[in-house]
Chain A
Amino acid sequence: MKPDMFIVILAGVIHATLQLGIGTLLLLYHASIGKHVKKRTRELATNYILGNGLLTALAITAMCFIIALLFSGPMNPAVLTIVAIALGALAISVWGFYYRWGKSTELWLPKSVAKFINERAKTTNSNTEAFSLGMLACFAEAPFTIILITIAANSIISLPISLQLLALIIYTLLSVFPLVILRIAIRQGQTTVDIQRWRIKNKNFLRVLSGIGFFTLALFIIAFKVLKG
């Protein structure tokens, strides 16, 4: 049970280090603060976070179902080895091209997708739109999060039934934790400029942290699930 819970927590922490959700929320704040009163901006941010969290939880639940359907239980060591290799490849990808080169926090996304998200964030005026934007940001990050969600779902299936819901909630909360921190920081008086400056200053640290996280998770799966299994 312990390795499985640790895998879920580690996967959630790695998910939290990814930057698209935070960047989109920052864009939403920047666009909204000038247009709406504070209460309205807070409501939009809350709905954004709920949308993001809900899609993450739904994705894990769906993946649990798919894994149970395909493998009649947790994945076998051969498949886990492939997943661990994919995690290693993602670690290299994060170090290499998660961020575009230059002194900004531009991500790997195609320009058209980034522009679309930008435009959506600027024109978000209702709670429904903010909720959808949260789901869109979560979905756009899928190339990097799908493996994490798969790993977490596999571990959740391996847990006793009494702990499965708790593990799902823990992963979801960990994945939206940075968004909550950002919301609190802005509520405390930080501006979007302060936060963006922080992101640019710590870009390399975040990149290294994400990559090390992916790598650690891959090694952990090989050690505790593949070799031990």
Chain B
Amino acid sequence: MKLKRTKTKKAERPISVTCASIEADILKEAKTLRLPLSAVKSYTKIIAKKVITNLEEQKYKTPKKNDLTQSELNSILAKELSRYNKDLSFVYKNRGKII
């Protein structure tokens, strides 16, 4: 999956991601959407593990190796979540795009 970075005056800072941080983030969004957390937990672990594994194997073709920005992570999670829950996927796709 090739990620397109938009040119901005101030480049977005890369962030460090872990399985736990991804899981916590997804569960927080699921709580906001009033989704049943027991169901969400089951696929959250799978997604978090997949993202970290792909990142370590450098499967995401980012311009710099092991360098992931928040918006790139949001688009990756939106794609992964689209298979499990459309609403959660929508939230990640539209993060920072409400106003």
Question: A residues near B, CB below 8 A?
Answer: 19-20, 23-24, 26-27, 30-31, 33-34, 102, 104-107, 109, 111, 114-115, 117-118, 191-193, 196-197, 200
> Is the CB–CB distance between A34 and B32 below 8 Å?
yes
Q: Is B29 an interface residue (CB 8 A)?
A: yes
What residues of B have a CB within 8 angstroms of the CB of A106 in the complex?
97-99
Choose, from B40-48, B55-63, B74-82, B88-96, the stretch at the interface.
B88-96
Rounded to whole angstroms, the CA-CA distance of A196 and B91 in the bound complex is 9
Rounded to whole angstroms, the CA-CA distance of A23 and B32 in the bound complex is 16
Of B8, B32, B97, the residue contacting A30 (CB under 8 A) is B32
Closest to B30 in A: A34
What residues of A have a CB within 8 angstroms of the CB of B96 in the complex?
114-115, 118
* Known A191-B87, A193-B90, A193-B91: A105·B34 in contact at CB below 8 Å: no
> Is the CB–CB distance between A114 and B99 below 8 Å?
yes
Min Cβ gap A203→B in Å is: 12
> Is the CB–CB distance between B32 and A192 below 8 Å?
yes
Of A19, A105, A191, A192, the residue contacting B97 (CB under 8 A) is A105
Contact with A along B16-40 (1 / 0, CB 8 A): 0000000000001101111000000
Rounded to whole angstroms, the CA-CA distance of A20 and B94 in the bound complex is 16
> Is the CB–CB distance between A196 and B90 below 8 Å?
yes
Rounded to whole angstroms, the CA-CA distance of A213 and B33 in the bound complex is 35
> Is the CB–CB distance between B29 and A34 below 8 Å?
yes
What residues of B have a CB within 8 angstroms of the CB of A26 in the complex?
98
Of B29, B34, B87, B99, the residue contacting A107 (CB under 8 A) is B99
Rounded to whole angstroms, the CA-CA distance of A33 and B34 in the bound complex is 9
